[in-house]
Amino acid sequence: MMSGELWLWALCALLLALWLLNFLRTDSDLTLLWAEWLGRRPEQVLTGKVVWVTGASSGIGEELALQLSKLGVSLVLSARRAQELERVKRRCLENGNVKEKDILVLPLDLADRSSHDMATRTVLQEFGRIDILINNGGKAQGSFVVDTNMDVFKEILEVNYLGTVSLTKCVLPHLMKRKQGKIVVMNSIAGILPIPLCSAYVASKHALRGFLNTLQSELYNYPDIKVSTICPGPVHSNIYKNSFTSVVTKTAEDNVLVSKMETSRCVRLVLISMANDLNEVWIAKQPGLFGLYLWQYVPLRDRLFSRMTWKKITKALDIDMGGLGSILELSDRAALGGKDSVQEEARYFGSELDLVLKDLGSNTRSKLRSYGFKQVAPLT
């Protein structure tokens, strides 16, 4: 009897060890990991669907379009840059299982909420239905709270949160009428964790998570309308090109958070989560994924997490904190203000101005040069 019990305990210990080993190597939460092993394949579920992807001109959105096109879906590609959307369309036609008639390029500005209803009607007129809306559009930001212009908060929330809510509300009545469909939102681990230097971005992602959880609860009587919140960690994408302070945000994430995941792998996991109707998934390489579990379940997480990340951020940036605040403020002014606003801010920098100009990103540099700051050389 004892021998049998020992064998049982040994087997349990072995299975637990194997599970822990696999967890340390995985890049998704346990539910998504299980779905990848034993769940439905995207090829079985998504083929033939009408899928609307926002933010489709680059990064995760572009990769979503490419992988979906190989499944033989009807695609609606939206973003602000029409030329980039046409480029993505050509890639889908060359590499996917779609024809010209299967792809609609529909330029869209998430911040222009007045255009969302007309855009929805255009999609319905073209394809007759919408099966899946993937809200992927968004904008990044990086600065201390004390240094962040309120206009930055306003614009980040307008694009990342209100724009997504608006488009979802436009599509939702159609899904409710058909009593089926999927609403997928590319959120972020920033919707769960506090990320220093990204207060506006983090706030917008936390707001999205709350909105989607509430929406899911309100769709109780519509069991075939699925709401999915996708929370990826750092992924190779172009989100920093549209960031207010790209040099700071990119430096912090490159050196502090976790190693980046390949976009193709992230998108494959997204499609698996869609095929299996998962409500919320976490996608990140280790140790980022472990950090999510730590934040979710471990007491004293606030002090532990903040101390670890803050020390690494200051070391990674490797610049004086006063100089950093100046960089962030000038970058915000260049992004949102005009020439007078930037020049007024520059007067307060004094001897720090050379340091500030040295650490600015390419977008801010071009803006400042147009405002007459000839000492700001282009990045080489």
Burial class (CB in 10 A: 0-12, 13-18, 19+), 223: exposed
C-alpha 149/C-alpha 141 separation (Å) is 11
Q: Which is the catalytic residue, given 161, 201, 240, 371?
A: 201
Among 263, 185, 286, 291, which Cα is nearest to 231's?
185
C-alpha 219/C-alpha 147 separation (Å) is 40
Residue 201 bears catalytic tag: yes
C-alpha 196/C-alpha 180 separation (Å) is 39
Residues with active-site annotation: 201
